[in-house]
Amino acid sequence: MNPACVLTIAGTDPSGGAGIQADLKTFQELKSYGMSVVTSVVAQNTTGVKDVHHLPDSFIREQLFAVSEDMPVHAVKTGMIANKEMMQVIKDWVQTIDAPYIMDPVMIAQSGDPLVEQEEQIYLKRHLVPESTLVTPNIPETETLLNRRIDHEEDMKEAAVEIVEQLGAGAALVKGGHLKGKAVDFLYDGYQLHSFEEERIDSANTHGTGCTYSAAIAAYMSQGYPLTQAVEKGKHFVTAAIRHSFDLGKGDGPTNHFALRREVFHS
């Protein structure tokens, strides 16, 4: 039997913790067939971003059609999309695809380095967010999307509803990794608010958690899980990946994509 096929469109992380590398590891671990289209090649590691090389938008288009004219695409996720030209190409392509589209609106790396310039972030909000089945902003990204501060859980809930009702996303998952206390995320699916809560793990090794979470949701959706269940299972996956994260690198280390395997083996 053929596997479910899932595509990531994102930038690279040669140190393996975030971006396309994190996405592909997640897809593999969750037993979907992973495919990837590179938007930007990023010289980065756990300490930060050193340099970036953006691919021409015409070449991103070529990669996208090389995949979709030959392979099934059962779900797609996007990560770092650095400029308007790329956003336009991706928007046009997404409209040709009949599959869930999970958008991680990557703006700033955890190290604080910008991955998408401010003017381009507005374009993303106007043109790509309305194409998404699900958008997964963290707190600073939610603040940028809505142009106001998000300080506590009530703000997160309101924000999730607003991202759907005012910005036109199919659903919104506002992630609380950047707040204090429990690690709570809120999903608004257009009808209902759902919360996903886990204990906060005392770890600085959270490089790539957002990438890993959205990739896990995309993998589960490629396999036909409904949105809420895909988010629930994705949260379980990312929490285990943080709990068993690796002390690798001189900065904030990467998460552990084998973690669920390990929990299963050791429980």
Ligand X SMILES: Nc1ncnc2c1ncn2[C@@H]1O[C@H](COP(=O)(O)OP(=O)(O)OP(=O)(O)O)[C@@H](O)[C@H]1O
Half-sphere exposure of 236 (CA within 13 A, CB side): 12
- In whole angstroms, the minimum distance from the beta carbon of 162 to ligand X comes to 18
Q: Could you say whether residue 259 binds ligand MP5 (CB under 6 A)?
A: no
- Exactly one of 210, 234, 251, 253 binds ligand MP5 (CB under 6 A); that residue is 210
Q: Could you say whether residue 90 binds ligand MP5 (CB under 6 A)?
A: no
The answer to whether 177 is a known catalytic residue is no
The answer to whether 209 is a known catalytic residue is yes
Dist. CA 21–CA 36, nearest whole Å: 9
- In whole angstroms, the minimum distance from the beta carbon of 11 to ligand X comes to 12
Tell me the β-bridge partners of 184: 197
The residue range among 35-43, 44-52, 208-216, 221-229 that interacts with ligand X, by the rule CB under 6 A, is: 208-216
Tell me the β-bridge partners of 11: none
CA gyration radius, the chain? 17
Nearest CA among 156, 167, 209 for reference residue 190: 167
- In whole angstroms, the minimum distance from the beta carbon of 165 to ligand MP5 comes to 27
Nearest CA among 236, 220, 238 for reference residue 32: 220
Please, are residues 230 and 13 in contact by the beta-carbon 8 Å criterion?
A: no
Q: Which does 201 bind (CB under 5 to 8 A by kind): ligand MP5, ligand X, none?
A: ligand X
For 203-223, give the DSSP string: -S--BTHHHHHHHHHHHHHHT
Q: Could you say whether residue 110 binds ligand X (CB under 6 A)?
A: yes
Q: Could you say whether residue 110 binds ligand MP5 (CB under 6 A)?
A: yes
x/- map, 28-67, ligand MP5, by CB under 6 A = --------------x-x-----------------------
Dist. CA 6–CA 247, nearest whole Å: 29
User: What residues line the site for ligand MP5 (CB under 6 A)?
Assistant: 10-13, 18-19, 42, 44, 79-80, 106, 109-110, 115, 207-208, 210-211
